[in-house]
């Protein structure tokens, strides 16, 4: 029995009431590292049975395509699983790790350039502040699965990403990515970004 991709009811939001504005295509067609930073404070959301469910992103990681040994698209690897990474920026790429965790990525750059930003953590509701404090937990809480991989975040009716409000501007820390020790030199690249003031980051982060 597979769990239904149902979002956690406590994540119900009303984008309009919050003054959130959906990110447009151009947002995703910029430098991937810039996007990874700009996603801190942005909202990832999906609609389920007529209502929106979403959360404020507080931790991301950039994956830089064919030249990045930590990326699934390293050396241009192109299989059915990774295919969404080759889509135009603004699509979603979801993969399964350790047989149980669905991890959501925002695809960036023009079509053919397999870069993406992994959504590592988002803020949970007051009664469960760490509900989305990790990529696997984020996917579970929003009910995102590999069935959503390849879907477009732009102009859709049931999946969306809302740009970070102008203020408050988050204080952003950076550090090497997690779980990519096998990637040689790339393992040390500072491509992980997080909100220094959020209690929901997935791990104790070195300050900066």
State which of positions 158-177 bind DNA (CB under 7 A). Answer: 177
Shortest spacing between CB 178 and DNA, in angstroms: 5
Q: How many Å separate Cα 50 from the centre of its chain?
A: 23
Shortest spacing between CB 24 and DNA, in angstroms: 23
Contact predicate 42/23, CB 8 Å: yes
Which residue among 18, 66, 146, 187 contacts DNA (CB under 7 A)?
146
Helices (runs of H) and strands (runs of E) counted in the chain = 3, 9
Phi and psi, residue 60, nearest 5°: -140, 165
| 97 is a contact residue toward DNA (CB under 7 A) | yes
| 96 is a contact residue toward DNA (CB under 7 A) | yes
For the window 1-40, what string marks contact with DNA as x by the rule CB under 7 A? ----------------------------------------
Per residue, the 3-state secondary structure of 49-107, as one string, reads CCEEEEEEEEEEEEECHHHCCCCCCHHHCCCCCCHHHHCCCCEEEEEEECCCEEEEEEE
Name which of 135 and 170 has its Cβ closer to DNA.
Answer: 135
| 69 is a contact residue toward DNA (CB under 7 A) | no
| 137 is a contact residue toward DNA (CB under 7 A) | yes
Residue 95 in tokens: 């993969």
What is the rounded CA–CA span in Å between residue 17 and residue 26?
24
Which residue among 32, 105, 198, 205 contacts DNA (CB under 7 A)?
105
**Where on the chain is the footprint of DNA (CB under 7 A)?**
61, 63, 70-73, 77, 79-82, 85, 93, 95-101, 103, 105, 116, 118, 133-138, 146, 177-180, 182, 202
């Amino acid at each position: 029995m597979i769990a239904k991709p149902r979002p956690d009811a406590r994540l119900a939001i009303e984008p309009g009431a919050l003054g959130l504005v959906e990110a447009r295509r151009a947002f995703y067609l910029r430098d991937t590292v810039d996007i990874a930073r700009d996603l801190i404070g942005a909202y990832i959301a999906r609609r389920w049975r007529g209502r929106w469910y979403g959360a404020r992103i507080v931790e991301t990681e950039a994956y830089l395509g064919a030249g990045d040994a930590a990326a699934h698209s390293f050396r241009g690897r192109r299989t059915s699983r990774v295919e969404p990474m080759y889509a135009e920026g603004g699509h979603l790429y979801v993969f399964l790790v350790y047989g149980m965790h669905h991890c959501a990525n925002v695809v960036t750059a023009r079509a053919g350039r397999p870069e993406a930003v992994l959504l590592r953590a988002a803020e949970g509701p007051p009664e469960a502040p760490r509900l989305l404090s990790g990529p696997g937990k984020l996917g579970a809480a929003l009910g995102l699965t590999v069935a959503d991989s390849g879907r477009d975040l732009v102009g859709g009716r049931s999946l969306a990403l809302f740009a970070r409000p102008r203020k408050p501007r988050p204080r952003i820390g950076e550090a090497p990515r997690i779980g990519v020790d096998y990637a040689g030199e790339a393992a040390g690249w500072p491509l992980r970004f997080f909100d220094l003031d959020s209690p929901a980051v997935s791990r104790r982060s070195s300050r900066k």
